[in-house]
């Protein structure tokens, strides 16, 4: 197993490099880079200033045209290229970025005047909070529901509960988030939950219990919106896993020996049926944490990594884009390895090393 883990760790290096290189090429080829963003802002401000001067009725001297009218000086563009590091060839910039990222030095944001590491550490607790609560709710609901559906397979309960979770799966999370806002956040009906953030403005002045209630009050709608689409997969996986186990020979043997249904279910079936479910927890966390949080954070104005990455893409803030991508990819690869090791922990009979050889 040690050799298997070592090989997987070594394999992470070319995988991480490949993902970073592919995205680096795509981002570099995309129009509207950081320099274009700065020039667009500069020209926009110049045009506004010129409009205000003309609207005020003041005479403008013949030699005092606005910079937007004269065009951007080449020296200014060269200064921007040097500031952003674009005076170096692309391959040198990529190699330098990878060397810095190996020590988790993500540089400084182009437009926020802060270190990328500082920005990510400020936003990381929000994304972790949303991801962990969502995963917890999904597992607490889906596993008992899946077990009950397996025990009552084909009943009315099984049919209508399947319909509900499939409908929830079919509705995109962001549409459900908007629906929740309309219904419960002062949209058109009830104003029961806050619309923005994870805490109230007076959060620091509240008591310990008041802070807990305020936090849960704010996190309720984002967690529901994030979790609604994840119930179906885990519920049906749990149900099918238990159905496969209850028809195996060892279950029939245990019942023939006089074991009660509860003893058979929780003493024999549960561990074997939960193998794939428990081992899939890291992978489920990856999906919820990385893919499901972006639109939810945008809709509910949560300052998490998803919103930070979205804003960075819109502003072409390359250090933030590649810094968050590097962190996401690295955590995803590590969690994938943990997922495989969890299989072995749950069932020692599984040996990935022998299967690879």
pLDDT tens digits for 11-22? 888 999 999 999
Distance of CA 186 to the CA centre of its chain: 27
Of residues 275 and 137, which shows the higher confidence score? 137
Segment among 41-45, 88-92, 225-229, 278-282 with least mean pLDDT: 41-45
Lowest pLDDT segment from 45-59, 117-131, 164-178, 328-342: 45-59
pLDDT at 70: 41
Each domain of the chain, given as residue ranges in start order, spans 127-304
| Residue tagged 């049919």 (tokens) | 159
Q: What confidence tens digit (pLDDT) does each residue in 289-346 have? A: 665 567 788 888 888 887 888 888 888 888 888 988 888 888 888 877 887 777 777 6
Q: Residue 113: which pLDDT band, with cuts at 50, 70 and 90? A: confident
Length of the chain: 357
| 326 close to 290: Cβ distance less than 8 angstroms | no
The answer to whether 235 touches 168, Cβ cutoff 8 Å, is no
Which pLDDT score is estimated for 121? Answer: 87
Class of domain 127-304 as given by CATH: mainly alpha
Cβ neighbours around 266 below 10 Å, total: 12
Measured from the Cβ of residue 211, the count of other Cβ atoms closer than 10 Å reads 15
Q: How many other C-beta atoms can be found within 10 angstroms of the C-beta atom of residue 1?
A: 11
Which pLDDT belongs to residue 59?
Answer: 40
Whether the predicted model's global pTM rises above the 0.75 cut: no
- Quote the DSSP letter at residue 265: I
Sign of CA dihedral 118, 121, 126, 131: positive
| Proportion of the chain above pLDDT 90, given as a percent | 4
Q: Residue 122 CB: number of other CB atoms within 10 A? A: 14
């Amino acid at each position: 197993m040690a050799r298997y883990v070592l090989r997987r760790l070594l394999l992470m290096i070319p995988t991480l490099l490949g993902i970073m290189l592919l995205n680096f090429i795509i981002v570099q080829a995309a129009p509207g880079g950081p320099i274009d963003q700065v020039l667009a802002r500069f020209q926009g401000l110049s045009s506004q200033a010129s409009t205000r001067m003309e609207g005020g009725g003041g005479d403008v001297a013949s030699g005092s045209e606005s910079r937007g009218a004269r065009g951007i000086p080449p020296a200014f563009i060269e200064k921007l290229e040097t500031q952003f590091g674009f005076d170096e060839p692309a391959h040198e910039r990529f190699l330098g970025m990878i060397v810095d990222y190996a020590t988790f030095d993500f540089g400084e944001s182009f437009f926020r005047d802060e270190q990328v590491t500082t920005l990510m550490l400020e936003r990381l607790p929000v994304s972790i909070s949303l991801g962990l609560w969502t995963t917890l709710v999904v597992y607490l609901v889906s596993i008992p529901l899946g077990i009950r559906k397996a025990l009552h397979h084909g009943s009315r309960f099984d049919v209508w509960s399947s319909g509900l979770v499939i409908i929830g799966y079919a509705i995109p999370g962001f549409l459900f988030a908007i629906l929740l806002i309309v219904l419960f956040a002062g949209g058109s009906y009830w104003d029961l939950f806050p619309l923005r953030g994870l805490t109230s403005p007076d959060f620091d002045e509240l008591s310990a219990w008041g802070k807990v209630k305020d936090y849960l009050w704010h996190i309720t709608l984002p967690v529901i919106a994030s979790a609604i689409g994840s119930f179906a997969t885990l519920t049906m996986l749990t149900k099918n896993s238990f159905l496969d186990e209850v028809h195996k020979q060892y279950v029939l043997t245990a019942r023939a020996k006089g074991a009660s249904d509860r003893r058979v279910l929780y003493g024999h079936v549960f561990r074997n049926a939960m193998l794939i479910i428990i081992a899939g927890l890291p992978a489920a966390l990856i999906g919820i944490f990385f893919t499901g949080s972006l639109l939810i954070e945008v809709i509910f104005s949560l300052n998490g990594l998803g919103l930070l990455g979205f804003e960075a893409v819109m502003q072409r803030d390359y250090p933030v884009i590649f810094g968050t991508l590097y962190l996401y990819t690295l955590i995803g690869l590590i969690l994938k390895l943990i997922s495989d090791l969890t299989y072995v922990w749950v069932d020692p009979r599984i040996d990935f090393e022998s299967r690879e050889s």
